[in-house]
Amino acid sequence: MPIKPFKDLSLVDDFMFSEVMRRPENIKPFLENLLEKKIQRVVTIDKQKDLKDTCDAHGIRLDVYLEDENHTKYDVEVQARLHRKLERRIRYYTSGIDRRSLEINADYEELSDSFVIFICVEDYFGAGLAVYERESHIKGAPDIPYEDGSHAFILNADFKQGNGNPAVLDFLRYIRAGYRGEHYDISKSSYLKQIDEAVCGIKEDSGREMEYMTLAMKMMDERKEAFEQGEARGRAEGRAEGRAEGERASQTKTIKRMLARGLSLEDISDMIGVDLPEIKKLAEQE
């Protein structure tokens, strides 16, 4: 898969999304409109934050991670591909955030509220809604909420029903247009003008382009190495099945190395161009 030209990046690309939305002035209005609450101050903010407990644990890389003045944690992710089992991914991300929210010997009541938000270019649930918000309640007694402080949102840029805040819907339309390479009129939204100016500013920064190309080349090198190692072993064995076995062995080695660096299975699937179920099989091999 060729590297996407830097000039063609839009907000739906991980690199651009992380660079633009890690800025408090860009992420704060988005969260306030989505959650319909006021955030007085962003205390900390990170892009591409890695959360990992041990060297052999499954890593988490968060696109944009921040904390407000009340110690509420927010993770905002963008998804250019529709992955399966997004609910379980959200569960794992939430648990990773929680484990870093509670000090040793602290009471569970001190556990911070958390919001995990995925912005998808496709409709994950297929119901046409723009905003899917998880609600928890007691079975058989829906009027009794189950309030554990964790919240999950899956946003759909390809929505048919605008069930969200108008500013959020405009933001999703902007995401959709960028993904499709289409023009979107931002003249009526000062916020989208601000976002678009941030995108253009990053594209004009040669240092950012070099950073992007370096990261992209590393991904390409991983894919090339996996292919070349598989081909070399296949030639040595002289059989088609040997080539397949060699490629699988080298891919397994590459996958384990990437997992050790904190990449998720979904990220690895994107990087080396192998379907997620096959990535999972290779990762489980000895």
Render pLDDT for 187-241 as a digit per residue (tens, 0 to 9).
999 999 999 999 999 999 988 898 888 877 776 666 666 566 656 665 655 555 5
Residue 221, class by beta-carbon neighbours within 10 Å (0-12 exposed, 13-18 middle, 19+ buried)?
Answer: exposed
Residues 90 and 187 in one domain: yes
Is 119 found in the same domain as 63?
yes
In a shared domain, residues 158 and 253: no
Q: Is the dihedral of CA 204, 205, 209, 212 positive or negative?
A: negative
Number of domains composing the chain: 2
Do 198 and 266 reside in the same domain of the chain?
Answer: no
Residue among 85, 86, 89, 80 at smallest CA distance from 18: 80
Same domain, 200 and 221: no
Question: Is residue 221 located within the same domain as residue 162?
Answer: no
In a domain, 74, yes or no: yes
Quick check: 234 and 226 in contact, CB under 8 A? Answer: no
Does 11 map to a domain?
Answer: yes
Read off the tokens for 227: 């292919």
Question: For position 29, what pLDDT does the model report?
Answer: 97
134 and 60 within one domain:
yes
> Residue 169 domain-assigned?
yes
Residue 240 maps to a domain: yes
User: Between helices 14-21 and 24-35, what is the axis angle to 10°?
Assistant: 90
pTM of this structure:
0.75
Contact status, residue 268 vs residue 259, Cβ threshold 8 Å: yes
Give yes or no for residue 55 having a pLDDT over 50. no
Please state, in angstroms and rounded to a whole number, the distance separating the CA atoms of residues 144 and 161: 28
| Long-range pairs, 92-96, Cβ under 8 A, ≥24 | 92/58, 92/60, 93/60, 93/62, 94/150, 94/152, 96/51, 96/60
Residues 6+ apart with CB under 8 A from 112: 67, 70, 71, 72, 73, 101, 102, 149
119 belongs to a structural domain:
yes
Of 154, 183, 204, the one marking the end of a domain is 204
Is the domain of 125 the same as that of 30?
yes
129 plus 186 within the same structural domain: yes
Claim to verify: residue 126 and residue 12 sit in the same structural domain: yes
Which residue among 171, 204, 237 closes a domain? 204
Domain boundary residue among 175, 204, 233? Answer: 204
Reported as a single tens digit per residue, the pLDDT across 150-196 is 999 999 999 999 999 999 999 999 999 999 999 999 999 999 999 99
CA 125 to each of CA 43, 84, 87, 120: distance values in angstroms, whole numbers, following the listed order? 33, 10, 11, 11
CA distances, 164 to each of 33, 132, 167 (Å):
9, 9, 8
Segments forming the whole domain that contains residue 271: 207-284
Same domain, 197 and 225: no
What are residue 63's phi and psi, to 5 degrees?
-65, -60
47 and 139 co-located in one domain: yes
Residue 217 maps to a domain: yes
- Asked whether the predicted pLDDT for residue 56 surpasses 50, the reply is no
Instruction: Establish if 1 belongs to a structural domain.
Output: no
Q: Is residue 181 part of a domain?
A: yes
